[in-house]
Amino acid sequence: QSALTQPASVSGSPGQSITISCTGTSSDVGGYNYVSWYQQHPGKAPKLMIYDVGNRPSGVSYRFSGSKSGNTASLTISGLQAEDEAEYYCRSYTSADTYVFGTGTKVTVL
């Protein structure tokens, strides 16, 4: 199974909105609603931000939202803040009863 495709980097100014894409196939992203998103700051463990495409865990800011269309899932961060600068990874369940991560996207707050 190949890693899901994410842009290497996305940037935005404070207060702006950005969207990170995560492209897979009909055997993973397109076939199931088990897409999750993780935020990772340098030297830290990943943190769950979105699960099941568009659900936000308790404690995660409302500024984070997720969606999916066909084989591409998206994470949108609205009202960008300095603390949002981090690496973001998507992950999807696959038809092989396994999971696969995306390639990762570095978010820079200008």
Partner 1 sequence: QLQLQESGPGLVKPSETLSLTCTVSGGSISYSSYFWDWTRQPPGKGLEWIGSIYYSGRTYYSPSLKSRVTISIDTSKNQFSLKVNSVTAADTAVYYCASRIVGATTDWGQGTLVTVSS
Ranges of beta strands (E only) in the chain are: 9-12, 18-23, 35-40, 47-50, 64-69, 72-77, 86-93, 99-101, 105-109
Mark the segment that binds partner 1 (CB under 8 A) among 21-29, 46-54, 60-68, 74-82. 46-54
Residue 10 as a binder of partner 1 (CB under 8 A): the answer is: no
Neighbours of 109 (CB within 10 A): 18
CB of 83 to partner 1, least distance (A): 19
Residue 52 as a binder of partner 1 (CB under 8 A): the answer is: yes
Q: In this structure, what token pair is assigned to residue 10?
A: 């996305």
Question: What does the per-residue mask of binding to partner 1 show for 55-84, with x meaning CB under 8 A?
Answer: x-x---------------------------
